[in-house]
Structure formats: C-alpha cells, structure tokens
Amino acid sequence: MKAIVSVSLGLVFVGLATLNVITILESSRSGQAPRTRARAIALHRAGRYLFIGLFALMVWFMSKRLIGSPEGISADAAVHIDLAILLVPLLFVKVMIARKFKNFHSILMPLGLSIYAISVVLVLIRVLPYALGKITASSWKREFRPWWNLWRAHREPTRSTAAIVAESATAE
C-alpha cells in the first residue's frame, strides 16, 4: 500500500473514531429526545462496524507489508505495532460487553474512550513524521511566503504592501 493511501486511511480511521465518540456522547446526554437518541445510537453502531472493518483491513495490509520486509523495524514502528496489538482485545471486549454482557454497561464509556485515545496515538505516531517530512524550506516559501508578506505589510504601515512584496521577491 502506498504511503499516501496509508495516511489517508489512517485519517479516515481517526475520523470514524471521533464520529463514534461524538455520537455516543450525544446519545447519553440527559433530556435527549428518544428519536434523536435512537438515531445517534444507530449511527454509532454503523460507525462501529466501519471502524472495526477498516482496522481489520489496515492490519491485514500492514502485516503483509511487515512480513515481506527483510529489514528491522524502527522504534516508532514497534510502538505502532504494539498499540495495534493492544487495540485488538480492547475492541473485542467492548463488542462482547455491548452485545452479551449488558450488566457491565458502565464500563463501555471508559473502554470506548481508551480505544479512541489509543487509535489517535496509533495513527499520529506514524502520520506526523510523514507529514512533517514533506515540509521543506522551499515548500514553506512557496506555500506560506505570500501570506507572510501580507502580514508583514499589515504590521508595517509606513511602507506600502507592494513595496514589501517587491522587496521580498527580489530577495529570493
């Protein structure tokens, strides 16, 4: 799987986790209309299946990539793998409690929040270094230099915006 596809799937994974947390928190608010609560729970249930399915898909492709790699893994990749392995039993326990052991309902919220936190760390530990590695000095100048010039022109009222932009263009 290409890196950009992995990053995109990771961000969708965190988005689904966030959607699940928001919908279950909305459904547990007091004074909620029964229809709104039922809709939020149904959305959470659909999000749960998508979340677990996407997690299984990513584990499958990442394990195939890891098995085919002759070199060792880095420390952040090892932590990434450890967090993914930790997430498996947490997801299993949460689904089992939600489906079979309804008398342990009070543990679902802390379990879900821990799954959310681990999922966010799981993705960010690999996405942030990738994203920050894509930022170079030349890309910063190309993307953010015009905004910097406008801000600087705003902060220096004695000179015109055109003069400051022209000066920075000749400096490059």
pLDDT digits (tens, 9 = 90+) for 106-126: 899 999 999 999 999 999 988
Q: Decide: 146 and 166 in contact? Cβ < 8 Å.
A: no
Q: What is the pLDDT of residues 45-97, one digit of tens each?
A: 999 999 999 999 999 988 888 887 767 777 878 888 899 999 999 999 999 99
> Using N-to-C axis directions, what is the helix angle for 108-133 and 3-27, rounded to 10°?
150
What's the whole-model pTM score?
0.72
Domains and CATH numbers, the chain: 3-134 (1.20.120), 138-171 (no CATH)
> Using N-to-C axis directions, what is the helix angle for 75-99 and 108-133, rounded to 10°?
150
- Mean pLDDT of the region 101-105: 86
**Phi and psi at residue 159, in whole multiples of 5°?**
-110, 155
Burial class (CB in 10 A: 0-12, 13-18, 19+), 153: middle
Compute the half-sphere exposure of residue 40: CA atoms within 13 Å on the CB side of its CA: 17
Task: Please state, in angstroms and rounded to a whole number, the distance separating the CA atoms of residues 94 and 55.
Answer: 15
